[in-house]
Amino acid sequence: METLIKEAESIQKQQTQRVSGSDALLLSLIEEKVSTIFGYPGGAIMPIYDKLMDYKKQLKHILTRHEQGAVHAAQGFARVSGKTGVCFATSGPGATNLITGIADAFMDSTPIVCITGQVGSHLIGSDAFQETDVVGISMPVTKWNYQVTRADEIPEAIAKAFYIAKSGRPGPVLIDITKDAMLQDFDFAYKPCDYIRSYIPRPLIKEEQLNRAAQLINEAKKPFALIGQGVILGGAEKELLAFLEKTGMPFACTLLGLGAIPNNHPQHMGMLGMHGHAAPNIKTNDCDLLIGIGMRFDDRVTGKVSKYARQAKIIHFELDKAEINKIIKVDAYVNGNVKESLPAVTAKVIKNKHQSWIDEFKLIRRDEEKRVIQKEINPEGNKISMGEVLRIINTIVHGDAIFVTDVGQHQMIASRYFDFKNTRSWVTSGGLGTMGFGLPAAMGAQFGAPDKTVIMVAGDGGFQMTLQELGTIAYNRLPVKMIVLNNNYLGMVRQWQELFFDERYSATPISSPDFPKLASSYGIAGEMVKERTGLQAAIQRMLDFDGPYLLEVKVVNKGNVFPMIPQGAAVNEVLFGDEQAIK
């Protein structure tokens, strides 16, 4: 009898263990297969940081130089690895410094879990030192958030956080933990979450929706597909390729959809949007069937909505029901994960070819090649252009790198000219357009893909917003290749001032430090290039270098990104930059 009781007790002991809330948090993260955490300590999160020392083997903590760096790093990590990014911050300013990154992750559907420390539960609501209502503040920009005030809530809250962040349309989750909850002991047991009754991450795909979509596809003479990040998030690249190759239709990618299918695919017509390629934008208003796949008809893609694809039938393949009919009224939709809906619809469509329709795109592409692309990548002037930097990178890496950008002109140039070959090789801030995203995101991307070459491109403006992360890169010897394209302007805003504000350059000229010297003070190698003659060799040196490297390239000061669809214009009202009205 006694042995039986002992046995029962030992089984009980195996299932639960008495630990502190801090231990419970870290054990829960280990259960969720987290290996890397980006963060910054502070008073309210100290008990967790203390316990981190006991889990050094399982959990690697990366001390960033600012909480914004931590959250962008978690985003970069998530975007390249397909895992959920994790970051820690303390209460008050630590927590509020995360908000920009959380908002960015919310817009771009990036799965991250943010853990914030909070003042003791007895102090909540008393305006205590470093108290802020981060649950309230982060509510509009999180998929879910929760405040833990008791240690025994931790395992369930973390399990839910990871389930919600990663499933369905991914997004950021914030868990706020009071200091006293970190210090309480309780019997810990972990059970992953796989069901919340009020949450349907995987809607069942309806046969009638598939049939309607297949019918429209089979009837179309000039179908055109728009590929978004939903394909990458759903891991549906192969399924998409099968669908596109069977239907034979041309397609284009949104900014975040780039890389889902290699650029050199014969049906790939380029990028959509304000600075996208001319052909896919113009042909949007010429096709007879427009198919959005895992994308959300952002205003940078649609231009003037009332003039968007009026002639076409529209189908939307989309996981998030709230995105269907949000901006554009559709004729048919398939609500579900594209990983499941694409093979189902592929089975129902007839094998087809649309060569002459594709040739119409190519005609416009040739025009763009002459009027814009060649001028950008093989410029005649003495000054280096942003485009030629990209052209040289392509000739060396051939798309086998992870490309990270900041926000602005260089971002649009990179998205237009980088030779995308692999999925999850592109990290850029799309929906929120967060300047300062590039450097910390590149850092996170390198942790998420340690064996890959990570190349970051930033402008002189955005780089200065988060350049403190050079410290993190130096300390961790992260071999990130950093290119700062310096035009001494906040270039994109300056471009708009030139085109739409009568060349009144209000607050756009900007001074910078000598970036390679700055890098050098962190112990990071680098160089500056001012002349075209040294450019190719410098890029080669950077890519060959074993370790982090900063290359500053002085580029043409008043370069513009074309083609461009001015805000409020229709998608087919594309400017190439050589029109009389612009000159």
Partner 1 sequence: MTNIEFTNYQEYTLTIFSENSIGLLNRITINFTKRKLNIESLTVSESAIKGVFKFTIVVICNQHTVENLIKQIEKQIDVLRAFYLTQDEILHQEIALYKIETASLLDTNEIEGIIRQYNARILEMTREYTVIEKTGHKAETQELFEKLQPYGVMQFVRSGRVAITRLKKELLSNYLKKLEREHNQAV
Q: Which is nearer to partner 1, 171 or 430 (CB)?
A: 171
SS3 547: coil
Residue in 301, 230, 232, 295 with CA at minimum distance from that of residue 261? 232
Smallest distance from the beta carbon of 537 to partner 1, in angstroms?
A: 51
How far does CA 553 lie from the centroid of its chain? 25
Smallest distance from the beta carbon of 331 to partner 1, in angstroms?
A: 6
Rounded-to-integer distance, Cα 317 and Cα 299, Å:
18
Check 32, 67, 318, 368 and give the catalytic one: 67
Enumerate the H helices of 398-459 as residue ranges.
409-417, 438-448
Sequence-distant (6+) residues with CB within 8 A of 581 are: none
Smallest distance from the beta carbon of 63 to partner 1, in angstroms?
A: 31
Q: Which is nearer to partner 1, 37 or 571 (CB)?
A: 571
> Contact positions toward partner 1, by CB under 8 A?
135-136, 139-140, 143-145, 147, 164, 195-200, 204, 305-306, 308-310, 313-314, 320-322, 325-331
In angstroms and rounded to an integer, the radius of gyration of the C-alpha atoms of the chain is 25
Q: Which is nearer to partner 1, 308 or 426 (CB)?
A: 308
Smallest distance from the beta carbon of 229 to partner 1, in angstroms?
A: 18
Asked if 252 contacts 239 with a C-beta cutoff of 8 angstroms, the reply is: no
Q: Which is nearer to partner 1, 228 or 379 (CB)?
A: 228
Check 129, 139, 311, 501 and give the catalytic one: 129
Cis peptide bond N-terminal to 563, omega within 30: yes
Per-residue tokens: 146:
């929760």
Q: Which amino acid is at 565?
A: I
Smallest distance from the beta carbon of 258 to partner 1, in angstroms?
A: 25
SS3 279: helix
Q: Which is nearer to partner 1, 315 or 358 (CB)?
A: 315
What is the crossing angle of helices 535-544 and 386-397, to 10°?
50
Smallest distance from the beta carbon of 575 to partner 1, in angstroms?
A: 22
**Which run of H or of E encompasses 503?**
none
Check 31, 130, 468, 576 and give the catalytic one: 130
Q: Which is nearer to partner 1, 178 or 423 (CB)?
A: 178
Q: Which is nearer to partner 1, 275 or 316 (CB)?
A: 316
SS3 490: coil
What is the crossing angle of helices 338-346 and 207-219, to 10°?
60
129 is catalytic: yes
Phi, psi of 101 (to 5 degrees): -65, -35
Smallest distance from the beta carbon of 231 to partner 1, in angstroms?
A: 21
Check 51, 143, 166, 179 and give the catalytic one: 179
Residue in 33, 26, 38, 173 with CA at minimum distance from that of residue 110? 173
Sequence-distant (6+) residues with CB within 8 A of 249 are: 220, 223, 224, 225, 267, 291, 352, 354, 357
Asked if 279 contacts 368 with a C-beta cutoff of 8 angstroms, the reply is: yes
Q: Which is nearer to partner 1, 76 or 223 (CB)?
A: 223
Smallest distance from the beta carbon of 198 to partner 1, in angstroms?
A: 5
Check 269, 412, 435, 492 and give the catalytic one: 492
Phi, psi of 427 (to 5 degrees): -125, 110
**What count of residues does the chain have?**
583
75 is catalytic: no
Residue in 233, 294, 258 with CA at minimum distance from that of residue 110? 233
Phi, psi of 239 (to 5 degrees): -60, -40
Q: Residue 303: beta bridge partners?
A: 570
Rounded-to-integer distance, Cα 246 and Cα 7, Å:
61
Asked if 387 contacts 413 with a C-beta cutoff of 8 angstroms, the reply is: yes
Smallest distance from the beta carbon of 142 to partner 1, in angstroms?
A: 9
515 is catalytic: no
Q: Which is nearer to partner 1, 207 or 514 (CB)?
A: 207
The CA distances from residue 13 to 8, 172, 321, 488, 492, in Å, are: 9, 34, 45, 64, 61
Rounded-to-integer distance, Cα 535 and Cα 384, Å:
9
Q: Which amino acid is at 32?
A: E
295 is catalytic: no
Q: Which is nearer to partner 1, 136 or 509 (CB)?
A: 136
Smallest distance from the beta carbon of 284 to partner 1, in angstroms?
A: 11
**Which run of H or of E encompasses 289?**
strand 289-293
Q: Which active-site residues does the annotation give? A: 67, 129-130, 179, 492
